[in-house]
Chain A
Amino acid sequence: MRFTENDTVKEAVNAKEGRQIVASIRDLHKSFGDRDVLKGVNLDLFESENLVILGRSGTGKSVLIKCMVGLITPDSGTINVLGKNVFELSPKELNKLRLQIGFSFQGSALYDSMTIRENLEFPLKRNLGIYDKNKLKDLAAEALEDVGLLHTMDQMPAELSGGMKKRVGIARTLILKPKIMLYDEPTSGLDPITSMEINELILSVREKYKTSSIIITHDISSAKHTSDRIVALIGGVNKVEGTFEQLKETTEPELEPFFKY
């Protein structure tokens, strides 16, 4: 399945007829100095879908999802998330929208001066104004139980392994019950067994929380296990799109090696 820039959207919608679009990106451009990173990306994320964005390092995958939450402002193009144009929102409205988007960072980004419990309680206190100790503890325990790390509640982030940190990072985003999950390289730097655990976790999050997810990765095994659909970002544009099985047959020179090795 190969889309040109112009018909990508139309065909994607046709292919997924009947499913609601929760996020759409149109003609997104972003450059850093002389380097053009995104050169007109178009894509849609459907309800309850796991969309994998595959590509080599430095192709702008992380930049793309950072634009979706307003961390990076693109040079041009539009991003609609849950019916709202991200770049037309006031700071207050943007904060409100961000509560519905969970972002799992590549390096976990746990607050290293706080315990795991405080990490999880922090967004609850700050966003929802929950200060009841028992309620906070229950919610933190529930989120940690979902990622299988209840026993780490009173530990510091430095005491956890890389895989555990990633899971706690996911738990911290789940605590706000987001509608969309954005995973930035969820398996990078992990051994194959831990990677598989993270892949299973991504699937179970979708099941339990009914989230739509974008998973940024260059790990083909992770893409295979977690994806409903894959978009390959090559040279700053979404060149190839389809299921894992469809992409396996690709003749795109930059994509072929992913499936070969």
Chain B
Amino acid sequence: MGTLMESAKVFFAEFMKLRSFLQQVAEIYQFVTRVIRNFFVPPYEGREILRQCFFVGNRSLFLITFTAFIAGVVFTRQSRPSLASFGAESWLPSLVSQAVVRSLGPLITGLICAGKLGSNIGAELGSMQVSEQIDAMEVSGTRPFSFLVVSRVTATTLMLPLLVVYADVVALLGSFLTVNFFNSSSFSLYFNEVATNVTYLDVFSSLVKSAFFGFAIGIVGSYAGYHSEKGTTGVGKAANTAVVVAMIMIFVIDLLSLQFINLFR
């Protein structure tokens, strides 16, 4: 009888966990649809979106420049000996450009933005929630959801593709400088090779994928902050959740997009 009761308790606890998980999934679904709906419904938050776009770019530009450049250098340095052993050193621009445009650029940018912007959005909205600033906006009829959430999600969605293009260029520059350091290849020759080997599909899929990265970062950060628990620990937890979940989402989107794009290759 005792064992049966224990089993029932464990089953009930697991059931409650599952229920709570499903509830959260439903809440996230509602949150996403609310963002999408509010995006198309006036009044539009043009001014705030522009302001957020500036912050998104400004906050991550230095880190993206730094990491993309180093990634370009390191990838070229690592690949060169292998290609050289096959006498295929001339393929280096082709290999690097495809790797950077298809995967490295979006992934580096996505992960940096997940850390930098995800935590920022989560902490900012979380502290606003904790200090009742969001409630104050709500009761004064100022539609905080559009102002705070829709503007941030739109900004990250629009800015990520631009940042990815920038990261690609910086990484390729890093790669070119490395190639040039070992065997003097000209700038035009290197980038001619890049342009020949990168297809429109590569660029287009990379941009679409990074827009999804941006959307995920904005949604996860905003959701974590907007639904932050009360107290200072709530803010920390919101920022942490935003970073961890956004990073996982980026890898999942990357994997799914790879499967999808391969259908067209």
Chain A residues at the B interface, C-beta cutoff of 8 Å? 66, 69, 71, 95-96, 98-99, 101, 103, 105-107, 109-112, 122-123, 126-127, 169, 172-173, 176
Contacts and interface: CB of A to CB of B under 8 A. Distances in A.
B133 interface: yes
A126 B133 contact: no
B135 A127 contact: no
Size bin of chain B's contact surface: 10 to 19
A111 B133 contact: yes
B139 A112 contact: no
Interface of B: 128, 131-133, 135-143, 147
Contacts of A109: 131-133, 135-136
Given A107-B131, A126-B147, A69 B139 contact: yes
A126 B139 contact: no
Instruction: Kindly name the residue among B131, B135, B140, B143 whose own CB sees the greatest number of chain A CB atoms within 10 A.
Output: B140
Q: Is the interface of B mostly helix, strand, loop or mixed?
A: helix
Given A103-B136, A176-B140, 8 more contacts: A95-B141, A103-B139, A109-B132, A111-B136, A112-B133, A122-B142, A123-B142, A126-B140
Contacts of A103: 136, 139-140
A122 B134 CA distance: 13
A130 B138 CA distance: 19
B132 A107 contact: yes
Given A112-B131, A126-B147, A105 B136 contact: yes
A257 to B, nearest CB: 28
A100 B162 CA distance: 44
B143 A95 contact: yes
A111 B135 CA distance: 11
29 contacts: A66-B135, A71-B138, A71-B139, A95-B141, A95-B143, A99-B140, A99-B141, A101-B139, A103-B136, A105-B136, A106-B132, A107-B131, A109-B133, A109-B135, A110-B133, A111-B128, A111-B136, A111-B137, A112-B133, A123-B140, A123-B141, A123-B142, A126-B140, A126-B141, A126-B143, A127-B140, A127-B142, A172-B140, A173-B140
B131 A127 contact: no
Contacts of A99: 140-141
B147 to A, nearest CB: 7
Nearest to A122: B142
A169 B131 CA distance: 13
A251 B207 CA distance: 73
A81 to B, nearest CB: 12
Contacts of A169: 136
B160 to A, nearest CB: 23
Contact of B135 (A105, A123, A173): A105
Going nearest first, the 4 A-B pairs with the smallest beta carbon separation are: A109-B136, A95-B141, A126-B142, A109-B132
